[in-house]
């Protein structure tokens, strides 16, 4: 059970996803510009793929029944890829290449390694079955089939599939417009010298990378000054330009935490304080109708909350069919002796130990240490109120799955 003022992760996600605005704007783009975009319409197959029976190997096309005489089969035609073959004469074979169309009359293809070639023809050195080494018309996709449903994120393999169908342009959803606002007068841009009490603005660049990878369009990227009036002005500006506002810092209980205060004052703070670690001081609300996700200020907490909370929210906005990661279950190669009322997300990676695949956790799980996330390949979940002993089975989410 979470503490009385902490919201369980599942409840928080249900609340957020029910309030995620769906992207309805669309555009049509060429395949070269479609990587990582989200399909806006179902894609059906305009014609069979492949369009005709073709050979899966380099070899010889023939009739299986013509082999019964035991005599060499003369080669009557040669079929390079991309040419239309003439019908195969009875009692002959065709020299054929991978991808070449099967000639009418042939029912089998024999690999060239299984054939003895002479001046009089070919002798087949293996048993032949009708249909062998032939890729049938429509074997991959049949005309009218649903190739890709709307909401599909276009990876390289989807682009290749669309190309195989002859599709040059696809309708995709517009990118989610996101504003990044980082709080803290102590933040300095990389490349500038640090003054007393100053630190570099880590979160801006983490979020820029994450949002680019998530097929979002960052329309505003600014700092929030540590005063209430400036915070409210910038938040309203972001609300006018973006579909989603993401802030870092300013959502805890300190006197300088103006983001939460601004949401509270307008009556639009609908969620605050999650039963997760790191990431407890996460806030959700609206600024003039635009959803705002207020992430913690610590760099590792930003990464964890983005992976576990912001990405499902973005997927819901994009209409993707799979919202939540699936993960896998692996034994722990580390211990957590002290239970916490909050669900933990340890920066971890898979390692081989004594011939067994186990989860290794970074030694220091401080929410301020982004180096732990660079060492890790994903997050190991530590259940609430639970100790972890070596060998205990834990859920593990790779960053690849979490951020896809």
What's residue 183's pLDDT?
Answer: 87
- Do you know the residue count of the chain? 404
Whole-number pLDDT of residue 184? 80
Q: What is the model's pTM?
A: 0.85
Dihedral of CA atoms 286, 290, 295, 299 in degrees, nearest 10, equals -160
240-275, pLDDT tens digit by residue? Answer: 999 999 999 877 665 557 888 888 887 788 998 999
In the prediction, which pLDDT does 256 show?
59
pLDDT in tens, 304-319: 999 999 999 999 999 9
Inter-residue contact 182 to 203 (CB < 8 Å):
yes
CB within 8 Å of 42: residues ≥ 6 apart: 146, 148, 149, 150
pLDDT tens-digit map of 119-145:
999 999 999 999 999 999 999 899 999
Percent of the chain with pLDDT over 70: 98
Distance separating alpha carbons of residues 46 and 143, to the nearest angstrom: 5
Instruction: Please report the pLDDT score of residue 110 as a whole number.
Output: 97
pLDDT reading at 1 higher than 50 = no
* DSSP codes of every residue in 263-326: HHHTT-EEEE-BSEES-TT-EEEEETTEEEEEE-SSHHHHHHHIIIIIHHHHHHHHT-S--S--
pLDDT tens by residue, 143-169: 999 999 999 999 999 999 999 999 999
- Residue 47 in contact with residue 166, Cβ under 8 Å? yes
Strand partners, 330: 394
Q: Angle CA(394)–CA(400)–CA(404) in degrees, nearest 5?
A: 120
Confidence of residue 4 (pLDDT cuts 50, 70, 90): low
**What is the percentage of the chain residues whose pLDDT exceeds 90?**
83
User: CA torsion sign, 249 to 250 to 251 to 253?
Assistant: positive
Q: Find the largest Cα–Cα distance for the chain.
A: 95
Decide if 251 contacts 259 (C-beta within 8 A).
Answer: yes
The answer for residues whose C-beta is within 8 angstroms of residue 143's C-beta and 6 or more apart is 45, 46, 47, 48
Rounded to the nearest 5°, which phi and psi values hold at 33?
-110, 10
CA 46 – CA 144 distance, rounded (Å): 6
pLDDT at 145: 94
Using pLDDT thresholds of 50, 70 and 90, give the confidence band for residue 187.
confident
- Strands 216-224 and 283-287, sheet pairing: unpaired
Render the burial of 85-123: b for 16+ CB within 10 Å, e for the rest.
beebeeebbbbbbeebbbbebbbbbbbeeebeeeeebbe
């Amino acid at each position: 059970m979470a503490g009385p003022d902490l919201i369980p992760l599942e409840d928080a996600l249900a609340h957020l996803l029910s309030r995620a605005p769906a992207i309805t704007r669309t555009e049509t783009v060429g395949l070269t510009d479609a990587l990582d975009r989200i399909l806006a319409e179902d894609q059906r197959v305009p014609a069979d793929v492949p369009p005709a029976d073709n050979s899966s190997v380099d070899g010889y096309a023939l009739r299986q029944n013509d082999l019964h005489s035991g005599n060499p089969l003369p080669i009557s035609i040669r079929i390079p890829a991309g040419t239309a073959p003439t019908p195969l004469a009875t009692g002959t074979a065709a020299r054929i290449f991978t991808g070449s169309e099967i000639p009418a009359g042939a029912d089998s293809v024999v690999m060239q390694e299984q054939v003895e070639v002479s001046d009089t023809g070919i002798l087949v050195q293996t048993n032949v079955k009708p249909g062998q080494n032939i890729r049938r018309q429509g074997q991959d996709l049949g005309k009218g089939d649903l190739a890709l449903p709307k909401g599909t994120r276009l990876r390289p393999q989807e682009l290749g599939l669309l190309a195989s169908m002859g599709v040059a342009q696809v309708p995709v959803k517009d990118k989610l417009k996101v504003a990044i606002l980082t709080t803290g007068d102590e933040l300095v841009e990389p490349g500038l010298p640090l003054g007393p009490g100053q630190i570099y603005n880590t979160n801006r660049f983490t979020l820029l990378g994450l949002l680019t990878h998530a097929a979002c369009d960052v329309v505003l990227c600014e700092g929030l000054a540590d005063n209430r009036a400036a915070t409210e002005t910038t938040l309203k500006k972001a609300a006018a330009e973006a579909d989603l506002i993401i802030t870092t810092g300013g959502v805890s209980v300190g006197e300088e935490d103006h983001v939460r205060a601004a949401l509270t004052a307008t009556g639009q703070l609908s969620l605050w304080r999650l039963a997760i670690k790191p990431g407890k001081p996460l806030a959700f609300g609206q600024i003039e109708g635009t959803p705002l996700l207020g992430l913690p200020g610590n760099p590792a907490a930003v990464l964890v909350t983005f992976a576990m909370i912001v990405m499902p929210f973005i997927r819901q906005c994009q209409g993707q069919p799979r919202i939540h990661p699936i993960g896998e279950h692996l034994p722990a190669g580390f211990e957590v002796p002290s239970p916490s009322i909050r669900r933990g997300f340890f920066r971890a990676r898979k390692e081989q130990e004594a011939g067994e695949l186990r989860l290794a956790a970074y030694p220091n799980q401080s929410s301020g240490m982004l180096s732990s996330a660079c060492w890790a390949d994903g997050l190991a979940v530590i259940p609430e109120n639970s100790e972890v002993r070596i060998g205990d089975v834990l859920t593990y989410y790779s960053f690849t799955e979490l951020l896809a």
